[in-house]
Structure 1
Amino acid sequence: MSRTPEIEKRFVHQVYDAIAPHFSATRFAIWPAVASFLGALPAGSLVLDAGCGNGKYLFSHPSSLFLGCDICPPLARICAARGAEALVADATRLPLRPLLCDAALSIAVLHHLSTEPRRRAAVAELVRVLRPAGRALITVWAREQEDQSKLAKWAPLQEAAAPPRPARPLDRIPEEDQEFLVPWHVPFHRAEVGSAAAADGLARRDDRKGAVVFDRYYHVFKQGELQRLVEGVENAVIVDQFYDKSNWCVIIQKI
């Protein structure tokens, strides 16, 4: 797999490194689709959460064993401080032996990868570390958002050079746009990410909202795109696919 593209380094890695404490504080709810997937696993299953964030799923199903990894060192440290087994790792190059896991999660990860080969490589890595008949749940943001007004608040990547970026009418967002910079607002009182991030150009101040604003890269998936991506990966079949809460989701099984 090729080197990490600069767009991911700046608008994914550096941003999540900076916002990790605030991001973690907002991530506590357990998604029912994930709970259902984990609840169907046999007791004692070893589950990999590739892109585990603050580790909220690593404690969500006590009859399974969990291993988490994330590209963001501050988030991995948050997981470790909570008592989870977590390591810093790239989802496209997992430092794990083949056939290790009974199941895997990839929740809201693939849409942060900026090329199709990298997204396919991340799926292939999940399949590689699964045991035969092991299953993985993969979710990504959908281009077909339930609340279409959200798209007007996102900046198409090709227009991202000149903030501020006011919301645009929905009829001016081309349907082919799938690459966006999505804002993350950190209140001024969260001192751990304060003025330094704005000073070095990683974020911008929004005095009206009283926040420092970071932009995160997303490739949002159109209907059928995730299925086609998975179908291009060897030794994997789709056993379920669905749309839930503005996400496209698939469950794959290793064959």
Structure 2
Amino acid sequence: MSSSGIPTPDPSGQQPDEVEEKNVHEVYQQIAGHFSSTRHKPWPMVERFLRGLTPGSIGLDVGCGNGKYLPVNRDVFIIASDRSDKLAQIAVQHQPHSTIVADILNLPHPESYFDFAISIAVVHHLSTPDRRVLAIREILRTLKPVDESGSGGRALVYVWALEQSTSRRGWDKGDAQDIMVPWVMKGKLAPGGAPTVEPKVFHRYYHLYSEKELEQDIHAAGGRVVESGYERDNWWAVATRNDQGAL
């Protein structure tokens, strides 16, 4: 497989939340500033989704990172959240939007309230199929149900794709789907060229989604896929609730 990732070690004896705490949450706490410095330009499909919202809409950015999507559409209000308080502290600069620290598996938001939600490159950090479905269900729970006229809340979800044969990562069908991806923080050099701070490598857990797997998870979570596709080595889908009431 590609050298951009290594298969996950045997997780026996570890609970899923322990795997994610060590290989996701703790890592983002340590790399927050460096990670933020590499995240600026919105992805086209996400920008299109946000710009297409009705003025005055209220929604969520679940797993907002540094908040780069918050300024895209000034005519909507977004409550952003991230599991990393250090990333949330960076995202909070994007006023007038609100930013909080929250867990995607237990969002502190009312049910059936929001017009939209986005969750970009987050769900793939959950380490079991059940937890990924639960994360999507939790997002859908916060959306307004679809009414008789067909209107209701919509969620845009992005996940890393397994099918990346043309990218620098080189993953493709047949490769391991549960992997550790390195994040390298470069060291610092003194004026003479000698290192003053050694480089550090952190490994983050990812589940690489195969084609149609995201749609299957949305259906399992009680959602309906409105639109889906592939962009920038990611699978994405726009989903609504598939019910008239509580999930």
TM-score (norm 2): 0.81
Match status 1:224 vs 2:202? no
* 3-state SS of 2:214 partner: helix
- Give unpaired runs (5+ residues) of structure 2: 1-14, 146-151, 190-194, 243-247
Equivalent residues in 2 for 1:84-99, closer than 5 Å? 84-99=97-112
Residue 111 of structure 1 corresponds to 124
C-alpha separation in 2, matches of 1:149 and 1:60: 28
**Paired residues for 1:118-137 under 5 Å:** 118-132=131-145, 133-137=152-156
Tell me what 1:239 maps to.
226
What percentage of aligned pairs have identical amino acids? 39
Relative to 1, partners in 2 of residues 1:253 and 1:55: Cα closer, same or farther, differing over 3 Å? same
RMSD of aligned C-alpha atoms?
2.0
> Gaps (5+ residues) in structure 1?
153-172, 191-206
**Which amino acid is 1:79 matched to?**
A
Deviations 1:210-253 (A, max 9, x none): 6211111100001111111111122x210101011110111001
* 2: CA distance, partners of 1:233 / 1:179: 21
Q: Give, as a single letter, the amino acid of the residue that structure 2 aligns with 1:240.
A: E
Partner of 2:4: none
Matches of 1:40 and 1:174, distance apart in 2 = 34
Q: Verify: 1:211 aligned to 2:174, yes or no.
A: no
Query: What are the superposed Cα offsets for residues 44-75 of structure 1, whole Å, 9 maximum, x if unpaired?
Result: 11120000000111111111101100000100
Q: CA deviation at 1:189?
A: 2.8
Which residue of structure 2 lines up, in the alignment, with residue 254 of structure 1?
Answer: 241
> Would you say the 8 A contact 1:91–1:125 is kept in 2?
yes
Alignment of 1:142-161 (within 5 A): 142-147=161-166, 149-151=168-170
Greater share of residues in helix: 1
Question: How far off is 1:174 after superposition?
Answer: 8.3
Q: Which digits, 9 at most, give the CA deviation of each residue in 1:173-218, with x for residues without a partner?
A: 981510111111112139xxxxxxxxxxxxxxxx8xx621111110
Query: Where in structure 1 do 4 or more consecutive aligned residues deviate above 3 Å?
Result: 81-84
Structure 1 segment 50-65 matched on structure 2, within 5 A: 50-65=62-77
Describe the SS at the equivalent of 1:56: coil
Shift of 1:254: 2.2
Q: Secondary structure at the match of 2:53?
A: coil
Letter in 2 for 1:51: G
SS of the equivalent of 1:5 reads helix
Q: Contact 1:238–1:252 (CA<8 Å) still a contact in 2?
A: yes
